[in-house]
Structure 1
Amino acid sequence: MTKLHLVTGKSWLQQQGSKHFTGKGLLMANGQEWYHQRHIAAPAFMGDKLKSYSTHMVECTKHMLQSLLNEVKSGQNEFEIGEYMTRLTADIIARTEFDTSYEKGKQIFHLLTSLQHRCAQASRHLCFPGSRFFPTKYNREIKALKMEVERLLMEIIQSRKDCMEIGRSSSYGNDLLGILLNEMEKERRGGKFKINLELIMDECKTFFFAGHETTALLLTWTVMLLATNPHWQQKVRDEVNKVCDGGVPSLDQLPKLTLLQMVINESLRLYPPATVLPRMAFQDIKLGDLLIPKGLSLWIPVLAIHHSEELWGKDANEFNPERFNSRPFAAGRHFIPFAAGPRNCIGQSFAIMEAKIILAMLISRFSFTISERYRHAPVVVMTIKPKYGVQVYLKPLEDPSN
């Protein structure tokens, strides 16, 4: 049986388009390089390591909720919730990825966001061979931002190396960066050395980029759906209050939030993090009677699959979490918000745990309705974003723990 990670992957064009802000990290790697990187990073998103991130998620969410409450008390009642979710998920990924270097992590987040926008702007301009080497305005800005990101990353890495050398620490840390650095040291001693500092920086950028934007969008769209469906909002709130008894959701309580999971699934179905999944065939592939020739680019239309009336029924374009109650869908085939197969999203368990904690804490502290200023205008690029944001009215609820 041919290993799928060797016969399909990302095209050269995709790699070039994202090389400045994710480089050769897991998202864009192919073949054995991808397999090696996935093997190194996987422990950071499994078992006890995954569970340990919940503390950061709860603390960051508490901080955001207090900020919202303070603003409500000062007279504000309308909020563009996407901005808050973006900041919150960036805070969480900064803490889980860089831990004690959290403040530098926040700086890296803002630089990477600017870098992403500059790269997107540059890609819209007419290019000719070799133009990426010209000292144009965009090329200069991209180079400067990339250098600043890498300078900050190197400062964090160097501080950990210094702690190891003077004996203040026996490892590089237990966060994602520490896991990668420890693996590099292990390989260096074993003589393999497949992972180096440049690749570690690319992995940090990849997980920062992929780890906050998609979850922020999931949270934003879910709040919009609950704000426009008050019946479901109340059902989820009742479930959260019953399961969590007015407190912060614990890890063993999260699986019991079945209605919330149904709502999250429906949000992911309607507004999947990736609207298409691009792949390239690196050799001839036979799928039944279908021959996929080497070099062919495949685009799996996730958005179309998720909105297919044939698969989901006549109400495919409507918000109906009940469709996930009896599980009449084929997960990994018809429902693929995090892709499927060997290249599925490595952080999907992290994202779902994060979304459940944040939404459970938000819905137990505030009720929310959609603002009349909200304009429903989903914009599809690779992700689905609300073009004009999501404006909601927030109303604090009485603290059920009192």
Structure 2
Amino acid sequence: MNQCISLDLGKPSYITKRLAPMLGNGILRSNGHLWAQQRKIIAPEFFMDKVKVMVGLMVESMQPLVRKWEDSIEAQSGVMADIRVDEDLRGFTADVIARACFGSSYSKGREIFSKLRKLQTAISKQSFLFGVPGYGLLPMKKQNEILSLEREIESLIWETVKERESKCKEACSSEKDLLHLILEGALNDQSLGEDSSKRFIVDNCKNIYFAGHESTAVAASWCLMLLALQPEWQSRVRAEVAQVCGGSLPDADSLSRLKTVTMVIQEALRLYPPAAFVSREALEEIQLGNVTIPKGTCLWTLIPTLHRDAEIWGSDANEFKPERFSDGVSKACKYPQAYIPFGVGSRLCLGRNMAMVQLKIVLALIISKFTFSLSPKYRHSPAYRMIVEPGNGVHILIQNI
């Protein structure tokens, strides 16, 4: 299903309809030729050579979080602080995406993302997982709130797009932020009219926020929760960061050599993948292997179930064992295609490289500065709210090294 390249297999319409206020008709929601066209424009901006250029701003965006935690330790006892880390990590990833997308105007980007978070919260109140007709419909007051937020967000993005259009031709390539580059790609695409290119930008700003900010913050939260239970792996990561970075801040070169950090992230994404499922709808009758899928049929793969299948991963499938990835994904399990935190095939997540780099920076900087364990306040409750996030947040007890 994931490796099928036919445009006749796409995102289910009943889900995408409900997500329209959040995602517009951007790359996460679109199907067919529109999806293929958007991927062609956006994908090159997330290749690793482009992501490496963003490493400096990512490291810079982590500094306020580190200082905030140091101040919390000083304020609470001078020795240890009890911190809810998931909200702080959301602030970090929002800052990264805002800086990457909006450059010097990133404060406006943060305002947009704040409203998008409210919109996501409002939409996630409805149950759209299996699309039971009439189930999970929102009261009129909540529907009006969603509509109002959608208009506010689009208005803010329109303003930014107009500001950028005038600068797009003037800026040299070294000054162009992500929004510049995507806008330029849209304007240069002959198949998009002027109105369509602006709509393309508005919708995909929303998509980049959701995929690049929210999902990465949640993944980082799960990483810290698991490491809080594993002081041995904290020590191993700390030793690797010290050896590779030599006391300096990580850069693009050193990040690529953090093998232990990568294994920890891969295992955390296996146990707690932010995406709960992969779903597809047969937009026309289609053949998958020797199975004929009738038009209108929805197909589902539940990722957490797949990632914990003992037949694929072994009897220790529910245990945190990063060493299973020591020789890469291909040797970690029976079928490499069963590991899909970023999907697989033609709809592989465009932001995979950016997410992995951000997660490496988070772990490298936090573990080199602090030791931590789970707080008594922590209550384990994975919750499905468009993505699988810690239902009660992640509270940890943190100390300076």
In 2: Cα distance, 1:18 partner to 1:172 partner: 35
Confirm or deny that 1:229 pairs with 2:238.
Answer: no
The residue that corresponds to 2:112 in the other structure is 108
Cα shift at 1:193 = 2.8
| Structure with the larger RCO, 1 or 2 (CA within 8 Å, 6+ apart) | 2
* Cα separation, 2, equivalents of 1:237 and 1:172: 34
2:273 counterpart SS class: coil
Cα distance in structure 2, aligned partners of 1:333 and 1:395 = 39
Matches of 1:332 and 1:347 in 2, distance apart? 20
Cα shift at 1:100: 1.5
> Residue type matched to 1:285 in 2?
I
Paired residue type of 1:25: G
Q: TM-score, normalised by structure 2?
A: 0.90
Change (3 A) 1:108 1:234: same
What residue in structure 1 maps to residue 75 of structure 2?
74
1:400 counterpart residue number: none
From 103, 113, 119, the counterpart of 1:99: 103
1:182 and 1:227 map into 2 onto residues whose CA distance is 44
SS at match of 2:76: coil
Note if contact 1:278-1:300 (Cα within 8 Å) is conserved in structure 2: yes
Supply the distance in 2 between the matched residues of 1:306 and 1:325 (Cα, whole angstroms).
17
Which residue is 1:185 aligned to? 187
- 2:212 maps to which residue? 211
What is aligned with 1:220? 221
The answer to whether the 8 A contact 1:173-1:179 is kept is no
Pair 123,141 (structure 1): closer, same or farther in 2 beyond 3 Å: farther
Q: Distance in 2 between matches of 1:116 and 1:224?
A: 23
Match of 1:140 among 139, 144, 161: 144
Out of 390, 394, 398, which is 2:394 matched to? Answer: 390
1:176 counterpart (168, 175, 178): 178
Aligned residues between the structures? 389
Q: Which amino acid aligns with 2:206?
A: K
Residue 303 (structure 1) aligns with: 304
> Judging changes above 3 Å, is the alpha-carbon distance between structure 1 residues 99 and 377 closer, same or farther for their aligned structure 2 residues?
same
Q: Distance in 1 between matches of 2:184 and 2:334?
A: 39
CA 1:160–1:192 in structure 2 vs 1: closer, same or farther (change >3 Å)?
closer
- Measured at CA, do residues 173 and 281 of structure 1 come closer, stay the same or move farther in structure 2, by a change above 3 Å? farther
SS in 2 for 1:280: strand
SS at match of 1:277: strand
Q: Secondary structure at the match of 2:320?
A: coil
- d(CA) in 2 for partners of 1:185 and 1:276? 34
Name the SS of the counterpart of 1:28 in structure 2. coil
TM-score normalised by L of structure 1:
0.90
Q: What SS does structure 2 have at the residue aligned with 1:82?
A: helix
- SS of 1:253's equivalent in the other structure is helix
Question: Shift of residue 128 of structure 1?
Answer: 6.2
Match of 1:270 in 2: 271
Cα RMSD between the aligned structures?
2.5
2:360 to 353, 356, 362: 356
1:292 alignment partner in structure 2: 293
**CA distance change for structure 1 residues 126 and 324 in 2, over 3 Å: closer, same or farther?**
closer
* Aligned equivalent of 1:370, options 365, 369, 374: 374
- 2 CA distance for matches of 1:239 and 1:169? 40
The residue aligned with 1:56 is: 57
Task: Mark the runs of 5 or more structure 1 residues left unpaired by the alignment.
Answer: 398-402
Q: Which amino acid aligns with 2:9?
A: T
Read off the aligned partner of 1:14 and give its amino acid letter.
I
Residue 273 of structure 1: how far off its partner (Å):
1.6
Q: Tell me the residue number matched to 1:260.
A: 261
Gaps of 5+ in 2: none
Q: 1:171 Cα shift?
A: 7.8
8 Å CA contact 2:281, 2:297 repeated in 1: yes
